[in-house]
Amino acid sequence: MKTRVMKFGGSSLADSGRIRSAAEIVAKEARDGTSIVVVVSAMGKTTEALLSLAGEVSCTRDGRELDQLLASGEQQSAALFSLALKDLGVPARSYTGAQAGIRVAGMSMDARISSIDPSAVRDGFKKGECAIVAGFQGVGAGGETLTLGRGGSDLTAVALAAALGADDCLVYTDVDGVYSADPNRVDGARRIDCLNYEECMEMAVLGAKVLQARSVEMAAKYRVPVTVLSSFHPGGGTRVQEKCVGEDLVVRAVVPDRGVAKVAVLGVPDVPGIAAKLFGGLAERGIAVEMIIQSTMRGQVNDIAFLVKKGLLGEAIDACREVARELDAQGVNFDVEVGRVSIVGAGIANHVEVPGRMFSVLAAEGINLDMIASTSVSITCVVALDRLDDAARALHRAFIEEKTKP
């Protein structure tokens, strides 16, 4: 019997009407004899509303209590979705993350899935039930609920698909797939039919609103094919899998990111162990960094610059200043008026002309480059925030629109 995991995001469940519409999509699959697991996010902007409410009642950021609070949003969605399916004549049962056998470990609000025992879900299949699982959560070693961080319901869905040996995982959103750029900002953006895991993960890491990066990493590890679809418009979709055949574009997507800030630690002594101390201190605070650049040594010192998410900037500055004092560095500065723009494609590494072409396109637009980094599937430039859209449009024209003209 075919097994399928279907995940519905918050926009697909924003109100009772949308929940019923999503339930009708699932009911059709279930009536065809497919064993279904539905993973749900919190309704609409519920998570943001709960965080705002928590801030109104307390200035204390208590991770344990926030985990309990935020997990309730997905549990609410799961129960409502189950009721909607039953009303359509489809047997269903809702599960919390713990009841679905999802065990997690790590920090509050950013836990990692350690194992899944899907026996309860399989028992439900034997009764002909659809399993409706609250995403974004699991149970820790002490029986406490822990949440998986932003986008964690994507991770729940892929992990359950892997644990069940499901045929595929469908992720329903408010758009009909992954686009070559943000269609709200780039007129020529087009839907991408297929991405390989590496391309999709790179896009997610670089700021594209596609799938959560950790979910793509897990999909790649367990070879779970994922399709991104719209819950509002049938057809279309983007398939994410190991290999894509027939695509001849070197650059598949242009990804701008407004959510980063630049931090620089100045005049750092050039001795072994300095970088380990600096980035070890950031890691202890749970601060992820990207695009680490160390300047050429001048005298016996150099500068170290990197990017962090804007929401973590305050903590990053505090950590860097603490380390700077210990190291007798010259100081710490930061810049929030920056953004990064990236081109992504599996063919980039095999085409030596791509970096020069990218820089020429940006130069022709009068856009200065602050930082540059590359991987085997991407090249990223940090530019002034007020030129970010210009950069994305120019790169999309040069690498995608002009390449697809008849």
Q: List, edge to edge, every strand of the sheet that includes 110-116.
A: 110-116, 102-107, 137-139, 145-147
DSSP H helices, 15-89, are 16-31, 46-57, 63-87
Render pLDDT for 32-86 as a digit per residue (tens, 0 to 9): 999 999 999 999 999 999 999 999 999 888 999 999 999 999 999 999 999 999 9
* pLDDT given at position 246: 66
* pLDDT given at position 43: 97
Is residue 406 pLDDT above 60, yes or no? no
pTM of the model: 0.90
Distance between CA atoms of residues 359 and 253, nearest Å: 16
Amino acid at 271: V
Distance between CA atoms of residues 202 and 345, nearest Å: 9
Q: Coil, strand, or helix at residue 212?
A: coil
Distance between CA atoms of residues 391 and 185, nearest Å: 11
Render pLDDT for 284-293 as a digit per residue (tens, 0 to 9): 988 999 999 9
Check residues 6 and 174 and name the one with the higher pLDDT: 6
Is residue 173 pLDDT above 60, yes or no? yes
Phi, psi of 243 (to 5 degrees): -135, 145
Distance between CA atoms of residues 108 and 148, nearest Å: 8
* pLDDT given at position 201: 95
73 Cα distance to chain centroid = 19
Amino acid at 210: V
Residue 133 pairs in a beta bridge with 39, 95
Render pLDDT for 227-237 as a digit per residue (tens, 0 to 9): 999 999 888 89
- Alpha-carbon torsion, ordered 139, 145, 150, 154, to 10 deg: 40
* pLDDT given at position 248: 67
* pLDDT given at position 348: 92
Distance between CA atoms of residues 288 and 308, nearest Å: 7
How high does pLDDT run on average in the chain?
94
Q: What is the DSSP string of 225-261?
A: -EEEEESSS-S--EEEES---S---S--EEEEE-SEE
Task: Pull the structure tokens for residue 123.
Answer: 């028992």
CA end-to-end distance (rounded Å), the chain: 44
pLDDT-derived band of residue 402, with 50, 70 and 90 as boundaries? confident
Task: Please answer whether residues 296 and 242 qualify as being in contact, where contact means their C-beta atoms are separated by less than 8 angstroms.
Answer: no
To the nearest 10 degrees (0 to 180), the angle between helices 274-284 and 313-327 is 140
Is residue 249 pLDDT above 90, yes or no? no
* pLDDT given at position 172: 97
How is the chain split into domains, by residue range? 3-174
Task: Pull the structure tokens for residue 323.
Answer: 């380390």
pLDDT-derived band of residue 247, with 50, 70 and 90 as boundaries? low
Decide yes or no: CATH 2.40.30.10 for domain 3-174.
no
Distance between CA atoms of residues 237 and 97, nearest Å: 28
Spell 101-131 as b/e; 16+ CB within 10 A means b. bbbbeeebbebebeebebeebeebbeeebbb
Task: Pull the structure tokens for residue 372.
Answer: 């540059």
Is residue 309 pLDDT above 60, yes or no? yes
